[in-house]
Structure 1
Amino acid sequence: MNARRAVRSALRKYDDQALRDARSAVRTAKEALGERGPPWWTDGAVDVNRTMAVNTVYADWYKRLGET
């Protein structure tokens, strides 16, 4: 959260270098938490991230959502 607060502070101050540094710190933290970077799990499931639901195995489920 310190890095996120640093982003907010840099934006308010219009400090481009501080903003780059803060965003780099956010990226580093997210990678350390496993939120960014290569997947750290291998469950064998197909990656459907950033794919429209109607084009995945979840198409029927997605269609039923609109029927209620």
Structure 2
Amino acid sequence: MTMKVRIDPERCQGHGRCYDLAPGLFGEDDEGYGTVLGDGLVPGGAEKDARLAAANCPERAIDVSEEA
């Protein structure tokens, strides 16, 4: 099972919880908005961080998907 994260730029308001909670998966742009690091694939062992970041996004801008 492969997990992938994505941030909807239309919904992100720059609260920064994603990169505070999961700095290995998310970063910030020059204006403080969240960005996905790399290609968005979640490395093994970081699934909990991905779900935690998504659950704590006030705008629900983080999409976590699982693919077989």
Same fold (TM over 0.5): no
Structure with higher RCO (Cα < 8 A, 6+ apart): 2
TM-score by length of 1: 0.29
Larger radius of gyration: 1
**Structure 1 or 2: larger strand share?**
2
